[in-house]
Every structure is written in structure tokens, then in C-alpha cells.
């Protein structure tokens, strides 16, 4: 990775922890992925293993601008999966309108992409129906995320 910068490895290691596990609740995700990363890197020599885990920790905790720049497209990927895939009938589309926004809004190009995804998410939320209360709750959440006139 000569010439790539000291933290370019974040791009390479940020998803390694997902290789062993399957979908886990987001509240447990970091702990499970880190545990799996430790397992995956057992065969590496000490310094390489420590560096790999340190880069993953930097990403997971969004400690640097580089880590946050890798997190932003990762959040967009999740949003796109929710927009394109099948979701349960009670899926909370409004949650997606603020999910990872502080990462994506920090990069103008990704903010623009995010706006397009959010517009499609709003359309999908309306098409998915739900009770009148769900629609009102969705609109209320939308107003909190994107105030009228903003």
C-alpha cells in the first residue's frame, strides 16, 4: 500500500468483520464484527494483526476523517438495500431518513446522492401504505429531519 497514505487500509479492512457472521441486530453489530475480525486475523503475524484490528477500530469508532469518509458510502449502501429490497410490512422508512446522515452530509457529492435516495425512500414509504397513524408519524419524522422550507 505504498503511496496510498497511512490509513488507506481502512477501505480494505472495514468489512472484514462481516465475513464470518450473518445479519445481527445493529446494537450488537460492532461487538460481533470485532470478535469475528479477531478470529479472521489469528493467522497473521503480531504487528500485521494489530495494525488490521487498529484500522478496523478506527473505522468502527469513526475516529478520523478517513474513517468517516469510508462510513458514508457504507451507510448509503444500507439505504439502497432498504430501498431496493423487500422489507417487512412494518418497516420504518422514516428511520432511513436520518440513518448515517451526519456521515453522508459531510461530503457534498455523497450528500447529493443521499438526497436522491431519501426522495425515493419517501416515495416508497407512501406507496407502502400503512395506517393513517403511520403516515402521520412518517410526516412528523420527516418534518423533524427536513423542516419545511429547508
* pLDDT tens figures, 87-139: 888 888 888 898 999 999 999 999 999 999 999 888 888 777 654 445 555 55
Q: Model confidence at 19, in pLDDT bands (50, 70, 90)?
A: confident
Domain boundary among 61, 77, 92: 61
Please tell me the total count of domains within the chain.
Answer: 2
User: Is 142 in the same domain as 80?
Assistant: yes
Other CB atoms within a 10 A radius of the CB of residue 57 amount to: 15
Q: Which domain holds residue 44?
A: 1-61
Asked whether the whole model's pTM tops 0.85, one would answer no
Compute the residue count for the chain: 150
CB 76 within 8 A of CB 38: no
Residue at grid coordinates 487500509: 9
User: Is 47 in the same domain as 76?
Assistant: no
Amino acid at each position: 500500500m505504498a503511496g496510498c497514505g497511512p490509513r488507506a487500509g481502512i477501505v480494505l479492512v472495514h468489512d472484514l468483520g462481516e465475513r464470518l457472521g450473518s445479519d445481527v441486530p445493529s446494537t450488537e453489530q460492532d461487538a460481533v464484527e470485532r470478535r469475528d475480525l479477531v478470529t479472521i486475523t489469528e493467522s497473521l503475524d503480531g504487528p500485521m494483526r494489530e495494525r488490521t484490528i487498529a484500522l478496523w477500530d478506527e473505522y468502527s469508532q469513526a475516529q478520523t476523517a478517513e474513517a468517516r469518509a469510508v462510513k458514508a458510502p457504507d451507510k448509503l449502501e444500507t439505504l439502497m438495500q432498504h430501498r431496493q429490497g423487500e422489507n417487512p410490512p412494518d418497516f420504518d422508512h422514516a428511520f432511513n431518513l436520518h440513518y448515517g446522515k451526519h456521515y453522508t452530509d459531510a461530503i457534498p457529492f455523497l450528500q447529493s446522492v443521499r438526497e436522491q435516495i431519501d426522495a425515493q425512500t419517501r416515495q416508497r414509504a407512501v406507496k407502502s401504505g400503512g395506517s393513517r397513524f403511520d403516515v402521520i408519524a412518517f410526516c412528523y419524522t420527516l418534518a423533524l429531519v427536513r423542516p419545511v422550507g429547508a
